[in-house]
Structure 1
Amino acid sequence: MNDLRIDGQRLWHSLMDLARIGATDKGGVKRLALTDLDRQGRDLVVQWAQQEGLSITVDKIGNVFMRREGANPALPPIVTGSHIDTQPTGGKFDGNYGVLAGLEVVRTLNQHGVATVAPIEVAFWTNEEGSRFVPVMMGSGVFCGAFSLETAYAARDVDGKSVGEELARIGYQGAQTPGEHPIGAYFETHIEQGPVLEDADKVIGLVPAVMGLSWYDCTVTGMEAHAGPTPMHLRRDALQVATAIMQETVAIANRYPPYGRGTVGMVQVFPNSRNVIPGQVKFSIDLRNVNDALLDTMHGEITAFVQRMARETGLDVQLERVSYYPPCPFHPDCVGAVRAATEKLGYSSMDVVSGAGHDAIYIARLAPAGMIFVPCKDGISHNEIEDARPEHLEAGCNVLLHAMLERAGVAGQAYAAPEAVSEAASAA
């Protein structure tokens, strides 16, 4: 088994074939969740799975599980996957690579007649991106019980169409209750979506954890006044107080390296006029770090700074935490399987804590989970120019293959794939 390798060209061609569905003029992909294009993408991936003899199960939130049977069907499956929905200006690899890498693992096992003890499954989760419907990571979130199926069904897009309606319309509202599908261990292979691996010239990112995040809405209220007649010492300038808080957000992140992050991504200034002193500023704050203790410390510091600015300036400053995702450490057994596979295959590697959210975060609440990162060009993702080198994608898939084999076990007898399953996914 040590010499077993995937077919990198076959993986690349599958990625390019799927990318044609929703292809954009700039070379990216626009395939929003539960649209007709999403249905076409789902149908193509399911068709490929059926050609490999996999059985298909769809749950009520539209998560799809494609199963290759093991020598012991009673064991919970070793699962890999990601998502195939994209951002409005998405790329060819975000999410899609994780799903098609899993399919390439199955194709390789079938090609070489390798039987596993535990079943192998490839999954893709509904509405990971959250571009059309919120919350993000919807399918995996419902699966793990982070929010209810009813809440997800009721979510609507800008045109008023609901998740429940659209799932039924495209034929992917399955029968299985989310969360009832067993998972023995879960691996997710992904482009890094950041510049760390490329900058360090490493091929594989070993992912011990995903950063936690705290999101805040901050509102500073002062008084609008004429920019000319109002002396500086008599102004109640909301923007100057807001920018001090923004700078402190960055300073807090810099105090807690290497994984401290502090970002202000949205700013609304009222009345937003050239010669009027701003009377109110609303802005977002995004703080991230790798463990609860550090994130709690950062939370305390931004809260204290906001309170101090309100006291010193006399302006009304309101800070509301609107979202919190705790840091997610991955299971040592899964991280160890990825590390061992990487070392066995001889790829250069480094530990990379993920700064982005992934379905693996939610699945880790129910089963041992781990992730594998590969570089992406210039660290760019959520962009039509997103790119990755074929040899890196191949390497990540080889690591996935051997990590899954380590967890699933290799059976003594050779494997013969059953004939293609004819049951339609919509009826699963």
Structure 2
Amino acid sequence: MNNNELLVSGERLWQSLMEMGKIGATEKGGCNRLALTQLDKQARDLFCQWCEAVGCTISVDKMGNIFARREGLDNSLGAVCTGSHLDTQPTGGKFDGVFGVLSGVEVLRTLHDLNIQTRAPIEVSVWTNEEGSRFQPAMQGSGVYVGRFNLEEEWAKTDVDGHTVKQALEDIGYLGDQEIGSRHIQAFFEAHIEQGPILEDEDKQIGVVRLGQGIRWYNVTVTGRESHAGSTPMHLRADALASAANIIAYIEDIAQAHKPNGLATTGFMQVYPNSRNTIPGTVTFSVDLRNPDAEVLASMDQMFNEYCEQIATQRQVNVEVDHFWYFAPVTFSASDNVKVAAQKLGYSHMDIFAGAGHDACYMADIVPSGMVFTPCKDGISHNEIEFTTPEQCEAGCNVLLHAMLEVAEVVE
């Protein structure tokens, strides 16, 4: 068979996506499958079952990351790996993360069905807690794997009910014994829905991901003074919520000042005492700043911190900024293989950057990595109505297959 004629089964891939989507299915057609819950266990078990059915061996490391391995002709070579995650947001869709994992399964099935031998081994990974919804931070499993996070510290992280990551791993039977970072990998690829509207707007089938978005996350606490809403003159107030509102409005100005790729968001807020006729005394909220250029992101960070100091002085409140997570912009050096594959298969494509964090962003720390994006309807993700078509999934998976084979080498 000519390598250019080697294609995956789009129908089988779609059936797998729909079957996996039944685990934690929601009424609106999405999924609620939080990390390290019993539903996550069911999804992991199904993944392992599918991979073992095509002759793969399964390994699990101490962070619960799963690796399904298909041996190569020369197993001294590093594996060519692909993967993503199976956990979802509380109101997530069927495709975010899952498409990347099941595209890997489809690659394994295609190679198995056609009895194709590769020189290097092929591995498909499931990374623990990519979403960061039940446990924080996001991309926890891949972050531990590459050394960004300490295993013992991440084991001790708790959810809102006080359950630790380590206990949750034990509860679902995925506290593995393989040492962190011990696998021999030479390249990593991840297929993913774009989670944005650019490919759909540009009418392109494939996004060749060149850069990963840099991210700075902050927890901000503004402390003023509670007092009566009806008897405290405006000039004698220390209104924490009004001060916070100024900061939140200003982060939009920061993003606008750093076009075209500057982004700024507040998505979480707590107000104390949260009473209608009491001036708020304490407000805690999140700030998310993003840019794919490290220098630009540093400029955004400086503007934000300077403005927080300014508001504290002007309004006589205390503004505490906890800069608790920084994710540096990423360059995907293996995306050249993605572009070659898209060209070879005749798919329309464009260079693009990843607006969200992905496991491949961390894997790029240690091995050449690349990403394949497929369009999603209206750019909507982290939403139950998230959707991509069977044809778009098939195209992305075909590109993934050929990008991996460029590195793994088919043995004739």
Report the TM-score when normalising by structure 2: 0.93
* SS at structure 1 position matched to 2:185: coil
Residue number in structure 2 paired with 1:274 = 276
2:105 to 103, 110, 114: 103
Residue number in structure 2 paired with 1:422 = none
Structure 1 residues 202-351: aligned runs within 5 Å: 202-331=204-333, 334-351=334-351
Decide which moves more: 309-318 or 280-289.
309-318
Hey, what's the Cα distance between the residues in 2 that align with 1:321 and 1:33?
Answer: 25
Hey, what's the Cα distance between the residues in 1 that align with 2:389 and 2:284?
Answer: 41
* SS at structure 2 position matched to 1:107: helix
Distance change >3 Å, CA 31–CA 245, structure 1 → 2? closer
CA-to-aligned-CA distance 1:360-381 (integer Å, 9 cap, x gap):
1221111111111111122222
Hey, what's the Cα distance between the residues in 1 that align with 2:270 and 2:105?
Answer: 45
Letter in structure 2 aligned against 1:10: R
Deviation at 1:231, TM superposition (A): 4.2
Distance change >3 Å, CA 224–CA 357, structure 1 → 2? same
Hey, what's the Cα distance between the residues in 2 that align with 1:390 and 1:39?
Answer: 26
Residue number in structure 2 paired with 1:355 = 355
Hey, what's the Cα distance between the residues in 2 that align with 1:268 and 1:193?
Answer: 27
Deviation at 1:130, TM superposition (A): 2.5
Hey, what's the Cα distance between the residues in 2 that align with 1:130 and 1:310?
Answer: 31
1:123 maps onto 2:125 in alignment: yes
Deviation at 1:405, TM superposition (A): 0.8
Distance change >3 Å, CA 42–CA 280, structure 1 → 2? closer
Distance change >3 Å, CA 322–CA 152, structure 1 → 2? closer
Is there any run of 5+ residues in structure 1 with no aligned partner, and where? 413-428
Residue number in structure 1 paired with 2:365 = 365
1:382 maps onto 2:386 in alignment: no
Deviation at 1:230, TM superposition (A): 4.2
**What percent identity do the matched residue pairs reach?**
55
Hey, what's the Cα distance between the residues in 2 that align with 1:162 and 1:267?
Answer: 24
Decide which moves more: 92-101 or 124-133.
124-133
Residue number in structure 2 paired with 1:27 = 29
Distance change >3 Å, CA 7–CA 266, structure 1 → 2? same
CA-to-aligned-CA distance 1:299-340 (integer Å, 9 cap, x gap):
111112222233333333333322211112212xx1101111
Hey, what's the Cα distance between the residues in 2 that align with 1:139 and 1:282?
Answer: 28
Letter in structure 1 aligned against 2:339: R
Q: CA RMSD in A?
A: 1.9
Decide which moves more: 115-124 or 197-206.
197-206
Hey, what's the Cα distance between the residues in 2 that align with 1:347 and 1:184?
Answer: 26
Deviation at 1:57, TM superposition (A): 1.7
Residue number in structure 2 paired with 1:401 = 401
Deviation at 1:7, TM superposition (A): 0.9
Deviation at 1:384, TM superposition (A): 1.9
Decide which moves more: 221-230 or 286-295.
221-230
Distance change >3 Å, CA 252–CA 8, structure 1 → 2? same
Report the TM-score when normalising by structure 1: 0.90
Hey, what's the Cα distance between the residues in 2 that align with 1:37 and 1:244?
Answer: 41
Hey, what's the Cα distance between the residues in 2 that align with 1:328 and 1:381?
Answer: 21
1:173 to 169, 172, 175: 175
Distance change >3 Å, CA 61–CA 313, structure 1 → 2? closer
Distance change >3 Å, CA 77–CA 259, structure 1 → 2? same
Hey, what's the Cα distance between the residues in 2 that align with 1:93 and 1:149?
Answer: 28
Decide which moves more: 168-177 or 43-52.
168-177
